[in-house]
Every structure is written in structure tokens, then in C-alpha cells.
Structure 1
Amino acid sequence: MAPAGFHTSDLAYFARRAVVTAGPVVARHYLEERDLSVRGAQGVTLGVIAAYVVGIAILWNVPYLRYILWPFKMLVIAFHEFGHASTACCTGGRVESISLDPHEGGVTHMRGGISAITLPAGYLGSSFIGALLTFCGFNTVASKVASIVLGVCFLLVLWWGKKDWLTILTIILAVGLIVAFWFIPNALRFYVLFIGVMSSLYSVWDICDDLILRKVNSSDASQFAKRYGGSSQCWGIMWSVISCIIMAAGIVAGIAAFPQTFEQQRKDANGFIPTGQKF
């Protein structure tokens, strides 16, 4: 029993003070236990991520060369639409259909749900999935697991998307690369990392396309601005910043969780669904 004159509000106050005081200490202690120093394998991975960011940004905007990204754009668009659909279901809505257009567009038809959550969930959902893939890209075994999921996702894209020869050919090629890279040292890990980086920054590139270069009036950001105020550019920039933060969190988590050297990763990978190759 609490002493006389002591109220539950006092208890709540002291509890909040304890959290505020002890929280940073606990967090600092945890980060000190998790060695976040960048080792050789992690340094290479960070360098590859930086190269991917520059390379994808160039390919995204160069005519004809942009077709190299076609299957990966289709997959990331599928992640985007999955973000809309999943949050609609979680907020009381119902998904009627999902379609993916080979001209790099997609749409989720749904009823109900909370639009304040479902509208930004497309970009932020693809960023979250990208962060998970980037996290897996720091480790060969984690990349093996992620590649199996990616293979299924590519096939689902074929199922949902409109069928044309370019879409079918490029997605089959992307799945074929997953299979081939299982037999090439480190290739699978960097392949998963590539898709993770692209998915993480999809919102940044797509928002630049829609709101700055082409000024599309039917983007998620413009719809959000119509319903809740503000400008589409403002919401787009905010979502882009959040996407970058999510990606950074995936990178930091990968550094903290996978400190193994290349040699240690090879040994671990040879014990998980071995392919007869020395990863």
C-alpha cells in the first residue's frame, strides 16, 4: 500500500523521471557492448552501398540504360503496393485488387482504412523492406534466406503484373540471377544488397520524378496534401527523409549484427544449404 499523501500521479512522475534519467545510460551501455567499429568486410559492404546509390541514380535517369532496372523497379513497386495493402487491412479496410503496370506504375484498389496511414505506407513500406534487405546484405547466410523470399516475390510480380514480353523476360532473368549467384562467392550477398538499396531509396527517386521533374498530380503525396493540407512537395520531402533514416537504421543494424570476416561468413554459408561451392 502506498504511504499516506502519496498518489499514483507521483508514482507515474517518478517512473517517467527514472526512464528519462536511465534511458540514455542503458542505450549507451548497449551500444558500447555492440561493437560498431567497421571491419574489413563491413567496409567493403559500405563501399558497395555507396556505389549502388550513385549507380542506380544514374541508371534511373539515363534513357535506354534505365531498362536495366526494369525488373527491380517492378519488384520495388510491388513492395510499395504491399505497403498500401497491408496497412489498409490493419486499419479496417479491404483490398479489392493489386495491379502492377509494366510501365513502372502500380495501383492498389481498396475500401476503407485510415488514409493518413495507408497513403504514406507505400513509400515507407518499401523503405522498411529495403532496410531489411540491406541488413541481410551484410551477411551471406542472411542473404541466402532473403534471396529465397525475393525469388517468390519476383514470381508474384509476374502473377500480379500485366504480362508483356519485356516484363516476363526481365523478371525471369532476375530470378535466374538469384539461382546463378548461389554458386558465386559473395555475388548473392551483393545482389540482395542491391535490391535493398534500391527499395530503400525508391521513395527518394520516385518522389523527385513525380513532384519535381514531372509534377504528377496523382501521386501519394499529392493525395495526402489534398486530404490533410500542406503541399505535396513538403510531404514528399518528409517521406524521403524518413526513408533515408530507415535505410541508415538498417545499415547500422547490419554492422552491429554481422561483425564476421569474409572467411567466417564463408564457413557459415557452407553449413547452410550448401551448394558444393566454397563461398
Structure 2
Amino acid sequence: MAPLSDIPRALGFPDFTTAEIIQNARRAVMAAGSDMIMAKRSDRHSNPLLRRNLTVNNTQKVTLGVIAAYIVVIALLWNLPYVRWSLWPFKMLVIAFHEFGHAITACCTGGRVKSISLDPREGGVTHMQGGISAITLPAGYLGSSLIGALLIFCGFNIVASKVASIVLGVCFLLTLWWARRDWLTIVTVLLAVGLLVACWFIAHAEALRYVVLFIGVMSALYSIWDICDDLILRKVNTSDASVFAQRYGGSSQCWGVIWSIISLAFMIVAIVAGIAAFPETFSEQRDDSKGFIPT
């Protein structure tokens, strides 16, 4: 039987020593490794998503500071006597989002919306027939939180804020249709639409970004604000959490806390997504805004 060293020669391959074979193998591994590194680098240059990271630039720091200031200001104004009425127009909008969440899920689960009424003192109420209550009841808090999170995400960019304001207009028109007999709701919705339209004409809609952020923060944390209302100033209309607890067990405080945690999660995801998706500076955003439905 021929020794192993004679097999390559018998098969017609060049005659290599063991050291040469090991050295050639090392070179092949190193070459493969360098090819993989170069491929990853080329992927980073060709794919902007891989190059995108969560570093926060100065523009985004300002946006985060504005969000933090909004949270503090709203928390104070929402609960202070007399001063709380300064939030009345925006509170009406957030209540409208809340009731819109009830209404749209009622329609999606086979129900029918009879009417919507809004009142910052008593809380909103959606009169509906049919639907799946296990979905429609939490849809008020979670729906307004989701809308708020989307508004916060869009608030990181002027063009995105313009798109958000158009969607808001559609939501307001639907709410207006369901609340056509409630004059307080009609006036509030019309004022909200007027505010959004006016902001389009201020510094190429830069003011619209801060309005969208403000409404987004209020709406994203509405479940927390509303729980404070329930604990401190009992509203006339029964809260969704208490009705849900009566039908499906647990306590209203427990469900309120759960929905609040979900709302906070929505908000955190929206902020992280906004940082990742919109790294443009203020000047770059203004230039982009001039090319999208300019005013």
C-alpha cells in the first residue's frame, strides 16, 4: 500500500509537503475572511439602512427636549385647577381620537356608530350598536395612544408632519360626520382643522411640526391623563376601564395601568423610530418641505 504522501503524486497533483499544504490553507482562510469583510463594507455603503444608527444629532436633541417639555407642561396643566382649561381645545382633540378609536373598531367588528359627543368636563362618549366589546372598549385608549405615537414619529420631520396633518384631517371629517348633531364637537373639529391649515403657512410648515408633536404627546399618554381624571376628578361618563372590568373581570385600576404601559411602549417605539428615520437637520427639513406641497 502506497504511503499517503504518494497519493497526490499518483493523482497527478503537484508534490506538496505538509508544511506547504498548511500554509496554503491558511492563505485561503485569510483570503476568504478579507472577502467577507469587504462584502460587509460594500453592503453598508450600498444599503442606507445598515449605515443608519441611533446616534442623536443636534436637531433630534431639540425635538427630544421639546417632547420632554411637553410631557411636563401637559402633566401640570392637566391637573391644576383653573389653569387646566388652557388645554381645553387640545383636550377635545385627544378625546376625539379616543372616541374615533371606539368608532372605527366598532365598524370593523360588525357594529354601527350612532353618534359621538365630546365634553372635556364629562368625557367623550360613543353611542354604538353591536361590535365586539372586548375590542371596542380598549380601542379608545389604545387607539388614541397609537395615533399619538404615529404623530410623535411624524413630528421628527416637517414633510412627515404634513402627511400626518392630512391624515388627521380625514379622521376629523369622519368624527365630524358621526357628531353632526353635537355643536361643541363640530366647532372643536373645525378649529382643529383651521389650526393645522394655518401652520402650513408658517416658516414652510415648520410650526406644524411642533403642533403635531404636542398633539401626539397628549394623545399618546391620554390613558395616563385620563386615569388621573378618574382618580382625582370623577367624570360623569363611566370610564372604559371600569366597564371593561365589570364585563371581563379585574379592576379598573389594573386595566388602566396595563393600557398605560402599552401607551408608554407605543411612545418609546415611536421616538426610537423617529430618531432612526429622520436624521435631517432643520435646514435640510425646510428644503425638503419646499418640494412637498409648498406654501
Q: CA deviation at 1:71?
A: 2.1
Where does 1:101-180 land on structure 2 (aligned, <5 Å)? 101-104=118-121, 105-154=123-172, 157=175, 160=179, 162-164=182-184, 171-180=189-198
User: Is 1:47 aligned to residue 55 of structure 2?
Assistant: no
| Contact in 2 for aligned 1:135/1:251 (Cα 8 Å) | yes
The one-letter amino acid paired with 1:233 is Q
Between the aligned partners of 1:71 and 1:96, the Cα distance in structure 2 is 24
Task: Please list the CA deviations of residues 111-147 of structure 1 after superposition, one character each: whole Å capped at 9, or x if unmatched.
Answer: 3332222211110000000011111100000111212
Q: TM-score normalized by structure 2?
A: 0.74
> Is the contact between residue 142 and residue 263 of structure 2 (CA under 8 Å) also seen in structure 1?
yes
| Contact kept? 1:135, 1:250, Cα under 8 Å | yes
Residue identity matched to 1:246? F
**Distance in 1 between the 2:271 and 2:114 partners?**
34
Contact 2:149 2:216 in 1 (8 A): yes
Please say if 1:213 is aligned against 2:232. yes
Structure 1 segment 188-203 matched on structure 2, within 5 A: 188-203=208-223
Whole-angstrom CA distance in 1 between matches of 2:193 and 2:290: 22
What's the secondary structure of 1:98's corresponding residue?
Answer: strand
User: Is 1:94 aligned to 2:111, yes or no?
Assistant: yes
Structure 1 distance, partners of 2:176, 2:126, is: 16
Length-normalised TM-score, structure 1: 0.78
Distance 1:168 1:44 in 2: 35
* Matched-pair contact (CA < 8 Å) for 1:81–1:98: no
In structure 1, C-alpha distance between the alignment counterparts of 2:269 and 2:207, rounded to whole Å: 23
Q: Which has the larger radius of gyration?
A: 2
Q: What do residues 233-275 of structure 1 show as CA deviations (whole Å, max 9, x unaligned)?
A: 1111111111011111111111111111111111110111111
Give distance in 2, aligned partners of 1:229 and 1:245: 24
Q: CA deviation at 1:215?
A: 5.2
1:192-238 per-position Cα deviation (integer Å, ceiling 9, x unaligned): 1111111101111001211x224568211111111111111111111
- Name the CA shift for 1:62/1:239 in 2 (closer, same or farther; >3 Å): same
- Cα deviation digits, residues 63-96 of structure 1 (max 9, x gap): 33322222222221121112112222333x3123
Contact 2:158 2:209 in 1 (8 A): yes
Q: Does 1:57 align with 2:78?
A: no
Paired letter, 1:56: I
Aligned to 1:246: 266
Q: 1:31 to 1:98 in 2, by over 3 A?
A: farther
Contact 1:75/1:157 (8 A) holds in 2: no
Match for 2:89 among 60, 71, 82? 71
CA-CA distance at 1:190 after TM superposition: 0.5
**Contact 1:126–1:200 (CA under 8 A) maintained in structure 2:** yes
Q: What residue number does 2:293 align with?
A: 273
Between 61-70 and 30-39, the greater mean CA deviation after superposition:
30-39
